[in-house]
């Protein structure tokens, strides 16, 4: 972290001074100067955050206590999160427990970053608040320096209800059997071409209600971009967080044989 601060003192401040002088010569006022300062200091802040996270990840990797319970599964997994400082992209280590039952990015867990989290909680809270007065699209464009799609804003709003339901449910359930079904399909894009989204749904079986069959307590995980490992990580953590895994007799996994499912 000292290196990035020293670099900013040596190079960043000089560049910032040059840009401010240029703005003054062009007749720009305080608003433009503040915007330029914010741009440069936000970039510094993002760099510091990356340094902190990756240094912490390195410390975990060297920690003797960690080595007793976890071994390194792979390194340099990339993660991007949109924050108030802009988008932060860092690399971290993926671990597997010695008993083979748990897999984690330990640094993410320490920092409270979930496997599927792409937007920091503070930004997400502002998205929900902004959506009360503006359209989803305008909210996503105005909340921070990184433009966020209207669909993402909509998901943030809907997640509030999801969190309420999860809190009301409380505790882990005990079931004998659990079903994990994975599938994919081609869809047409508005911009032309096609895409193949991946969908995984976890449920407790099939029940009948008013003559119609439906899944019992389903939970859906979908992904269009990114690594399939991130989808499976979310599935794994959902099961672990919501069920007494040691008491499940069998988990049935089904799919069409695609490579990402076999993985």
Query: Domain residue spans in the chain?
Result: 2-118, 171-262
Q: How far is CA 46 from CA 38, 42, 53, 237, 250, in A?
A: 12, 6, 11, 28, 45
Q: pLDDT of 220-251, one tens digit each?
A: 887 765 567 778 888 888 888 888 888 999 99
- pLDDT tens-digit series, residues 54-93: 999 999 999 998 989 999 999 999 999 988 888 999 999 9
262 three-state secondary structure: helix
pLDDT score for 226: 55
What pLDDT sits at residue 136?
66
The pTM of the whole model exceeds 0.85? no
How confident is the model over 152-175, as a mean pLDDT?
62
Band (pLDDT 50/70/90 cuts) for residue 132 is low
Span between the terminal Cα atoms of the chain, in Å: 37
Sequence-separated (6 or more) residues with CB below 8 Å from residue 150? 135, 136, 137, 139, 140
Integer angstrom CA distances of residue 185 from 32, 84, 251: 48, 35, 24
Q: In the prediction, which pLDDT does 167 show?
A: 45
């Amino acid at each position: 972290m000292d290196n990035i601060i020293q670099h900013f003192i040596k190079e960043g401040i000089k560049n910032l001074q040059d840009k401010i002088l240029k703005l003054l010569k062009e007749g720009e006022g305080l608003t433009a100067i503040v915007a330029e300062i914010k741009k440069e200091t936000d970039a510094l802040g993002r760099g510091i955050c990356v340094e902190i996270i990756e240094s912490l990840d390195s410390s975990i990797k060297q920690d003797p206590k960690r080595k007793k319970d976890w071994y390194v599964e792979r390194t340099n997994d990339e993660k991007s999160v949109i924050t108030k400082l802009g988008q932060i992209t860092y690399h971290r280590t993926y671990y597997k427990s010695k008993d083979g039952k748990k897999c984690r990015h330990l640094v993410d867990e320490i920092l409270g970053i979930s496997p599927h989290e792409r937007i920091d909680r503070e930004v997400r809270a502002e998205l929900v608040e902004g959506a009360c007065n503006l359209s989803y699209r305008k909210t996503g464009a105005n909340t921070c320096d990184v433009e966020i799609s209207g669909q993402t804003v909509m998901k943030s709003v809907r997640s509030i209800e999801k969190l309420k339901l999860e809190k009301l449910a409380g505790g882990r359930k005990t079931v004998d059997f659990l079903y994990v079904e994975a599938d994919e399909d081609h869809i047409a894009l508005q911009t032309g071409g096609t895409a193949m989204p991946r969908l995984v749904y976890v449920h407790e079986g099939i029940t009948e209600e008013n003559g119609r069959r439906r899944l019992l307590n389903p939970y859906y995980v979908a992904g269009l971009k990114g690594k399939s490992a991130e989808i499976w990580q979310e599935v794994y953590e959902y099961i672990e967080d919501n069920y007494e895994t040691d008491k499940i007799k069998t988990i049935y996994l089904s799919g069409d044989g695609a490579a990402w499912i076999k993985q």
